Amino acid sequence: MDLEKFSALAIAENIKNGAITAVDAAKACLDRIEQTDPQIGAWLTVDRGAVLESAQDVQNRIEELLSRGQPLPALAGVPVGIKDNICTEGVKTTCASRILSNFVPPYSATVVKKLEDNLMVPLGKLNMDEFAMGSSTEHSAFQKTYNPWDLGRVPGGSSGGSAAAVASRQAPLALGSDTGGSIRQPSAFCGVTGLKPTYGTVSRYGLVAFGSSLDQIGPIAQSAADCAALFDAIKGHDKNDSTSYDRAYASVLSETDDFRPRTIGIPVQYTGEGIAPEITKAVEDAAAQFGIMGCKIVELSIPELEYSLPAYYIISSAEASSNLSRFDGIRYGYRTEHIDSLDDLYTRTRSEGFGPEVKRRIMLGAYALCAGYYDEYYNKALKARALLKQGFARAFTEADMLLSPTTPTPAFRFGEKADAISMYKADICTVSVNIAGLPALSFPGGFSSDGMPMGLQLVGPEFSEGLLLSCAHAFQKKTDYHLRAPSGRGDQSA
């Protein structure tokens, strides 16, 4: 059986039926990683022996449950990759940063424990932009990750390793984190499906913090159905995370086949200047397809969206400057060897340990929080956040969900976004969702004239993940964009 051609749910079904074992699935992924990752660079840590040992333990548990006639979790035995800012006990968690290059957590994140509880097999840790700050995975301290569709282009970021691993069929599933689009943007660039859940539906305990009011862990997969199954596995209240919602959660996987025509709004702010014509055409084509499926398509306006990009970079940088103050060379992580004083230890450790983009955002955040500028920048950004939430709330009185591009262009080439502002603008379609704490799903919506994937985004009210996934699943039944696999053309000359 060629596992790369099977969805995560299909792999689980074959394991349940005894056609293959969890060890077979893990071996297939590990072999694929060994064959293709020297070109792609998606993984930072993979321990073949430990993975196979874990897979055998999982297989033993699966056989025990089946012998007792007990049901298996939906993804039992399925391998999964983990972004390297999610803590894994006994396995390095570096955040793709020199300052954490030797950090081995003494505990696992809640989501990792949930993967294990659902009898899934962690494959290893995936590359990312340092501390999740970036849109291209060019900002990793250790290596670049290359887009499997064209090795001369970026995979997106910051979860570029996660999206590239799923797109190249190295893993059927991966976890990413999304602070301003870091699941959705690389999913769009790599032609896979990625869900940013409602803020507070997935525990952040064990996620190394970037922007605490914005961060959210979520699934990346080939399809909406696979995303739904992985989201079911990781969602839920966690007493270790005070921001997680204490509420009852229904299975979203069971909702994916329950598609009913809805009203879909298209914000005019995402159809004009700055959006590539091919991307706009993909949105129009998707809207037409949803119309054929019985949905009502309406055009609407959310003027407050113009505040989203500046508000996001002020809020996220301010929170980053606070969160990253703990990396000082004293308690854990990298520590400089050449010091003259305590102040020198702090300065040299942070100067040597952090990369340029992380330093830029720490300085921006510290500046915005200074006493003389707090009201002018940070407080004003919080007011813009409140206005943006009101704008979305108004939009959802006119439509059940919103359809937009995920990114303004297909994947760009390495080095193409040389200045910070042009790179930040790559997140123009995604950051507003994090500011408002809403769920959003990126799914493949076609291909550009030069063969690169184009992603579309559905945004809904809080806790509407099932609605978004069912609509995308219905769309994927009518299209084959999510089934196409990359050939890895291009080169790594960048």
Known catalytic residues are 83, 158, 182
CB 444 within 8 A of CB 453: yes
Q: Are 392 and 436 a contacting pair, CB within 8 Å? A: yes
Across-strand partners of 436? Answer: none
- Sequence-separated (6 or more) residues with CB below 8 Å from residue 34: none
- The single residue listed with the structure tokens 């830029």 is 360
Cβ–Cβ < 8 Å for 366, 320: no
Tokens of 218: 């979520």
CA–CA gap between residue 112 and residue 313 (Å, rounded): 29
Q: What tokens does 441 get?
A: 């799903």
Helix locations, 396-430, DSSP H: 420-424
- CA–CA dist 48, 28 (Å, integer): 11
- How many C-beta atoms surround the C-beta of residue 277 within 10 A? 7
Q: Residue 89 in contact with residue 208, Cβ under 8 Å?
A: no
| Closest residue by Cα to residue 3 from 472, 16, 18, 20 | 20
Instruction: Name the CA radius of gyration of the chain, rounded.
Output: 21
Distance between CA atoms of 240 and 243, rounded to whole angstroms? 9
